[in-house]
Amino acid sequence: MADVLYHPASYKDPSGFVFTSNGKIFRQVNKSYREDYDLLLSSGLYKELSEKKFLVTHQEVSENLTQTNEWYKTLSPEHLPFISYPYEWCFDELKDAALLTLKVMKISMKRGMILKDATPFNVQFLHARPIFIDTLSFEKYEISKPWIAYRQFCECFLFPLLLEHYRQIDTQKLLTVYLEGIPAQTTAKLLPRKSLLNINILLHVFLQNSVAATAAPTNSRRITDFNPNKLLRLIDSLESTIRHLRFKTTVRTTWNNYYEETILSQEYLNKKEHIFREYIKDLQGSKAIDIGCNDGFFSKILAEYIPNVIAVDFDSQCINRLYTETKSLLNKNILPLCVDLTNPSPSVGFNHAERESFRERAKSATAIALGLIHHLVLSKNIPISGVAKMFADLTTDTLIIEFVPLNDEKAQLLIANKTKYHVPYDSTTFELVFEKYFAIEKRATIPGTERILYRMRIKS
C-alpha cells in the first residue's frame, strides 16, 4: 500500500476526499458519487469548464491507492503552485471568485448539473485568475428544487463584498472571524439605510434575513413552483449586484503614495533596482515571496526571473491595486495577498489543521524584504532577533533584505512620537543577529542614501 496521508481539510463531503501519496496530491471519488461523476464527464461539463480554464484539469489513475471499499476513481489533479484562503484575498480577488462561481453555476445548469456548495474555499488563483478546484461539487440538477447553496454563496461571497463596498470594512478581517460566511442577520445590521434602495440587496440580504428569522425550525417545509427560469433570474440578480460593487480607495493608508511623498523617489528606486537585478539574476527555485510588497514594484521584477511570486502586504488597497494590475500584465505569475506578517493567518478549523498557517504554506526558496525592517523593529516593536528568525522560517535558500538605518527619513518618522524602541538598531547589530541564520553573500549601499541592500543565504 502506498504511503497515504488524508488531507485534514477534506472530510466534510462523503463523495470523496483529497489525500497525498508519496508526496503527490490525489482526489478519491467514492462510490456514492459515481452517478454524478459519470454525468460530469458524459454531459460535457468537465470538458467545457476545463477548456475555459474555469475548473482544474485532472487525470484518472486506475489504482485504488487508499485501498478503501468506498473507492470508485482516483484523480490526479492539475498542480497549483500555492494555496491561499479567502481571508487573504483582496476585494477584487473575492469578487472575481464570486463571479467565477456564478459562471460555473450557469454552465452547469445547461449541462444538467448544479453546484451543491458555493464556498470560496473551492476556488484558488492561477495566473492572475480564479479557478474552481473542487471536482466533486457538482450534482445532477433537479429542476423543481431551489439552489441549496444559495445562502452559502450569499454569506461567503455577497455579504462580505457588500460590507466592504458600503462600509470599507476589510473582507480579510471579517472572514477570519466568519470562516463559514457572514450571516444575513449580521450583514443586515451593518449595512447602511441607503442600501435598502437597491432592490437586489433588499432581496438577497433583508428578505433572506426576514425569512430566516421567521422560518419554523423544521425541514418539513417544501418550496414549490421552482423552475430553471427562476433560478437563472436569481443568479443573474446576484451577478448584476456583484459586478456593480466597487473597491473604494478614498481612505488614506500607510503605503498610499509611499514613494511619491519622499525624497527617496524615482532616483532611489532606479539605483535600488539596479542592485536588486544583480542580486536575483542567478536565483534558483520555482517560488519566491515578496514580504511587504507595497505597490509590487519589485514583485514584478522578481516575476521576470521566478515562475511563481507571492506578493504580500497588510495594506489591502496596495494588494487590490496590484491584483488588478497583474491581470493586465503579460507575465501573470504574481499572486497578491493581504497578509500582515506581524499577525499572519494561523492554522484554523477542525483540530487546528483544516487550514494551514501562512508560514507553513509560504516557505519559499527566495524571500525579499525591501523597505520593511524599520517598520517591524521601530513601529511594531519586534526585536531584530525575532525578525531574523521569521525570515529564516520563510526561506529555504536566499534572502534579499534592505536595512534602513535609524537616521533615515522614514525611520525618523516612525520614532517621532516614541520614547522607547529596541536598541541597538544599527547595521552592525543587524548583521551579527542575521548571521546566526544566514551567511551574508553581498552587501551594497544604495547610492544617495545610507540604506544597505543585502543578499544572504540560509545556513544549513
* pLDDT score, position 264: 58
Range 191-205 average pLDDT: 90
CB count, 10 Å around CB of 457?
A: 14
Nearest to 430 by CA among 374, 361, 375, 384: 384
66 contacts 129 by C-beta, under 8 angstroms? no
Cα–Cα distance between 281 and 234 in angstroms, integer? Answer: 52
Over pLDDT 70: what percentage of the chain? Answer: 93
Q: Is the dihedral of CA 207, 208, 213, 216 positive or negative?
A: positive
CA quadruple 281, 283, 284, 290: dihedral sign: negative
More confident of the two residues 264 and 329: 329
Instruction: State how far the Cα of 167 lies from the Cα of 282, in Å rounded to an integer.
Output: 46
With bands split at pLDDT 50, 70 and 90, how would you rate the model's confidence at 214?
low
Q: Give per-residue pLDDT as tens, 110-129.
A: 999 999 999 999 999 999 99
Summarize the chain as % helix, strand, coil (round to 5). Answer: 40, 20, 40
Average pLDDT, whole number, for the chain?
A: 92
Q: Are 54 and 324 in contact (CB under 8 A)?
A: no
Please determine, for residue 252, whether its predicted confidence score (pLDDT) is greater than 70.
no
DSSP state of 233: H
**Ranges 1-5, 338-342, 405-409: which has the least confidence:** 1-5
Compute the distance between CA of residue 262 and CA of residue 233 in angstroms, rounded to an integer.
51
The alpha carbon of 133 is separated from its chain's Cα centroid by a whole number of angstroms, namely 14
pLDDT at 243 over 80: yes
pLDDT at 253 over 70: no
pLDDT digits (tens, 9 = 90+) for 124-144: 999 999 999 999 999 999 999
Question: Tell me: the pLDDT tens digits for 65-95?
Answer: 999 999 999 999 999 999 999 999 999 999 9
Q: Which three three-digit cell numbers place residue 284? A: 534558483
Q: What are the residues facing 24 on neighbouring strands? A: 21
Fold of 266-458: Rossmann fold (3.40.50)
Residues in the chain: 460
Check if the beta carbon of residue 289 is closer than 8 Å to that of residue 368: yes
Distances from the Cα of 294 to the Cαs of 136, 187, 269, 282, in angstroms?
A: 38, 31, 13, 24
Q: What is the per-residue pLDDT for 2?
A: 62
Q: What does the longest C-alpha to C-alpha distance in the chain come to?
A: 75
> Which range is least confidently modeled, 168-172, 296-300, 374-378?
168-172
Contacts made by residues 225-228, CB under 8 angstroms, sequence distance 24+: 226/143, 226/144, 226/145, 226/146, 227/143, 227/144, 228/109, 228/143
* pLDDT tens by residue, 364-383: 999 999 999 999 999 999 99
How does strand 24-30 pair with strand 71-77? antiparallel
pLDDT at 219: 47
Tell how strand 138-140 and strand 287-291 pair up.
Answer: unpaired
What pLDDT sits at residue 248?
A: 79
Query: Which secondary-structure segment (H or E) carries 334?
Result: strand 334-338
Answer for the pair 178, 188: CB distance below 8 angstroms, yes or no: no
Among 31-35, 283-287, 322-326, 443-447, name the one with the lowest average pLDDT: 283-287
> Which of 45, 42, 19 minimizes the C-alpha distance to 30?
19
Q: Minimum mean pLDDT among 188-192, 246-250, 385-389: which range?
A: 246-250
12-18 long-range contacts (CB < 8 A, ≥24 apart) are: 13/117, 13/136, 15/136, 16/136
Residue whose entry in the numeric block shows the C-alpha cell 478503501: 68
Q: What pLDDT does residue 419 have?
A: 85
**Given this model, what pLDDT does residue 221 score?**
47
Q: Do the beta carbons of residue 341 and residue 390 sit within 8 Å?
A: yes
Provide the 10 A C-beta neighbour count for residue 283: 16
What's the mean pLDDT in 1-23? 90
Give the pLDDT band (50/70/90) at residue 254.
low
Q: Which residue has better confidence, 222 or 306?
A: 306
Residue 80, pLDDT score: 96
Q: What is the DSSP letter of 264?
A: S
Question: pLDDT band at 169, cuts 50/70/90?
Answer: confident
Say what the pLDDT of residue 233 is.
Answer: 96
Show Cβ contacts of residue 311 under 8 Å, excluding neighbours closer than 6 positions: 289, 290, 293, 296, 299, 319, 322, 334, 335, 336, 337
Classify residue 285 as exposed, middle or buried by CB count within 10 Å of its CB (0-12, 13-18, 19+): middle
pLDDT at residue 249, rounded to an integer: 72
Q: How far apart are CA 25 and CA 235, in angstroms?
A: 33
What is the residue whose three cell numbers read 445562502?
151
pLDDT tens profile 392-414: 999 999 999 999 999 999 999 99
